Amino acid sequence: MKKIFISFALTVGLVAGVTTTVAAEEGGFQAAGNNIRDQASLQRGAKLFFNYCVGCHSLKYVRYSRMAEDLGLSEDEVMKNLNFTGAKFGDPVISHMPEDSGQQFFGKAPPDLSLEVRAKEQGPDWVFSYLNSFYVDPTRPVGWNNTVFPNASMPFPLWELQGIQTAVKKEGSDDVEKLELSQPGKLTPAQYQQAARDLTNFLEYASEPAALQRQRYGIWVLLFLAGFTFLAYLLKKEYWKDVH
């Protein structure tokens, strides 16, 4: 029975993983493959967010104090390395860009990213693909475009890390066939993929910080249910031993 249960669990996990990857690829999205239980990845993602994104985007449903607790950081580490707005430790993460400035420069105020991952049907795959799909487009006001979100108003904040991509269009069409790295960045392609995955991981965490606790509690609940089931089975055998 134990072997059957383990085999069933592994099969379900493998099928779920393959299904998610295939769905992402068939929909034109790259599978993020991130893991919010990877604390080191979350810390790297937080560093990227606060160095490249918080200038325009807020996380108004995430507090510095809660983030420190979940990511294994001290108050001193957070306030010195991640807090660039002068906020208090218990304050939510709010961008220091005034709303009217965002509308002036980009045509609309940059959105809050607290629920960005949960708002997308494809979840982290959408965000990961978006971070990999910027290319130079002189026809756009900000000089950049994106194949996942065409005509996006946002300039590419990570271009120094990834480098500059240019679009190769289909013959006789304006449709983008593929993107080519025409100017390397500070990171190799593999390193940038990991950086984009870390940032996506952090944004997935930010969309539901309670998920980390929920998953930890879930393990104990499953262990309790397994123990209770075993005891119930022994009790059933004791009650029915004379009948059989």
- Asked if 148 and 30 count as a contact pair (C-beta separation under 8 A), the reply is no
Contacts of 237 (CB under 8 A, 6+ apart): none
What is d(CA 187, CA 177) in angstroms, rounded to the nearest whole number?
24
Q: Which residues are annotated as a binding site?
A: 53, 56-57
C-beta atoms surrounding 140 within 10 Å:
15
Residue 2 phi/psi, 5° resolution? -65, -45
What is d(CA 208, CA 117) in angstroms, rounded to the nearest whole number?
9
Q: Which residues are annotated as a binding site for heme c?
A: 53, 56-57
- Asked if 64 and 89 count as a contact pair (C-beta separation under 8 A), the reply is yes
What is d(CA 124, CA 199) in angstroms, rounded to the nearest whole number?
10
Angle at which helices 189-207 and 124-131 cross, to 10°: 140
**Strand, helix or coil for residue 227:** helix
